[in-house]
Amino acid sequence: MKRDEGILFSGGAAGAEAAFGACAERHGVEEVNFTFEGHTIARQRGVRVLNHEELQAGDVSLEYVSRLMHRRFTDAPTIRRVLQTLWYQVNSGQEIYVIGTILDDGTVRGGTGWGAEFAKLCNKPLHVFDQDKNSWFTWTGEDWQKRSSTDAPLITHLHFTGTGTRKLKDNGKRAIDQLFSRSFGA
């Protein structure tokens, strides 16, 4: 894949999303960051502010998300909008890359987990770098498969999504850097 044909879809938030965006910029990959009015983000390149109507298109029942992810999501306007922007990120990408932690129940910790669950529901290729386990995992459709360092994922689709935790650790940042280097060269 040619780097100038690729587009990263993300949210531009501090942490993993900002690191995905910085890597995209260094590698000459276009970047689209979905956000909403009043939301503070770390990336200003490729910002796409979603209006009220567009946010509604990505709306989902918080009760459904809570049940699916085995935890409670409050009905606060900010968390709802963050979940709505994640809908746009995942909907726009053909493959999904997440930095975070896979929990014992197979979901990913935090609001990022909704992006991973939505990718599963859409049957999109899904790869999670688990910072606690220091390894990439790929969703097989039924379970998480650990990837070896020689079999780490590659970005293979023109439109891809990069999202994840705000609490990015050094190994998560390295995983993003290496993903881009493997996929687009040094």
> Are the C-beta atoms of residues 25 and 178 closer than 8 Å to each other?
no
Global pTM? Answer: 0.92
Q: Return the C-alpha torsion angle 83, 88, 124, 41, nearest 10.
A: -70
The pLDDT value recorded for residue 123 is 96
Compute mean pLDDT per 10 residues along the chain, 186 residues long, and list them.
86 97 96 96 96 83 63 72 88 97 93 88 96 98 95 96 97 98 88
Would you call 174 helix, strand, or coil by DSSP? helix
> What structural domains does the chain harbor?
3-184 (3.40.50.450)
Among residues 45, 35, 33, 32, the alpha carbon closest in space to that of 6 is found at: 32
pLDDT per position as a tens digit, 30-75: 999 999 999 999 999 999 999 999 988 877 765 666 666 666 666 6
